[in-house]
Every structure is written in C-alpha cells, then in structure tokens.
Amino acid sequence: MPKVAIYPGSFDPVTNGHIDIVERGLKLFDKLIVSILYNPSKDYLFTLEERVEMLKDSMKKMKNIEIDSFDGLLVDYAASRKAQAILRGLRAMSDFEYEFQMALMNRRLNREVQTVFLMTGLRWIFTSSSIIKEAVQFGGNIEGMVPPLAQKKLMEKFGIAPGPGQSGKN
C-alpha cells in the first residue's frame, strides 16, 4: 500500500518554506496531497483558485504530488483520501505548541492517521505567508522567499511595480 500524506495549509501565498517541506516530505512518502484548507472564519488575500494556480505552478516539476482543497475536519479528509499521515512543518516553539495540540486532537478523533512533523530548513525559519504579505505591502523585496508566480501575484495585489531585484520572474 503506498504511503500517502496530506500536507494541509492556507498557502496564502505559497512560500519557498512550503516548497522545502514538500520536497523533503516526498522523500518520506510515496505521494503527497498538498491541500488548501478552506476556513470560512479566515480572511484570505488570494482566492482558492489563485492559491491552487500558485501551488500547481510552483510544484509542476515534482512527481507524486496532487493539489486539492477541503473544508471540515482534517482527519476526516485524510481518511477519505486514504492518507496515513498529516505532514506539518515547524518553524518555532510557538508553532510546536499549536501543532502539538492539533496533532493530539486529530489523534483523538482518528487513531489511524498519524501526524509527522518536519523542522523547517534554517533558510526558511523566519518565513511565513503573513510576514511575506506584510513585507510586500510596505515595498520589501521578497525575491527568493516565494516562487516567482507568487511574487508576481503579491506585487499585483498590492499594486507594486517590479523594481530592481523584484521581477516576479526567474
């Protein structure tokens, strides 16, 4: 039976830290389902369709990846997709506390689905979608922190013309 994991997130936008977790996760699992959580209580900068487009573009060269979306309980979604694991990235202790609580609740709800944590690569430890959005909003250069399409779309959302080192292209 193939080892399948769900890598859930809002991916608003996808970052190179997310890509790092996916690449490393593919070394552990036969297939990764990168799935966008729809949370009606959360405000997103990008539509679901835009986030799917950015994920597909940034992972187009990877094999054994599927891009999907879901709402509801993550463990129910994982079971419906026949996934044995949930893959999560950790950057800091604050991530660990929240993720540990979620993993324990998921384990309580479905003991068949395991949670696997990967430490974010040191290069991406400070990177989060929220921080990147704030940096772009105030004119910061985020080249190399997000895939090219995400950079381009972020700059468009905030009405910023590309400057030196901010092409939005590779």
- Residues annotated as part of the active site: 18, 42, 91, 129
List alpha helices for 1-160, DSSP H: 16-25, 48-58, 74-80, 93-109, 129-137, 148-157
Give the neighbor-by-neighbor strand order of the sheet with 65-70.
Answer: 65-70, 31-37, 4-9, 85-90, 114-119
Are 13 and 128 spatial neighbours (Cβ–Cβ below 8 Å)? no
DSSP 146: B
Distance (Å) of CA 9 to CA 2, 82, 85: 22, 18, 14
Per-residue 3-state assignment (H helix, E strand, C coil) for 78-111: HHHCCCCEEEEEECCHHHHHHHHHHHHHHHHHCC
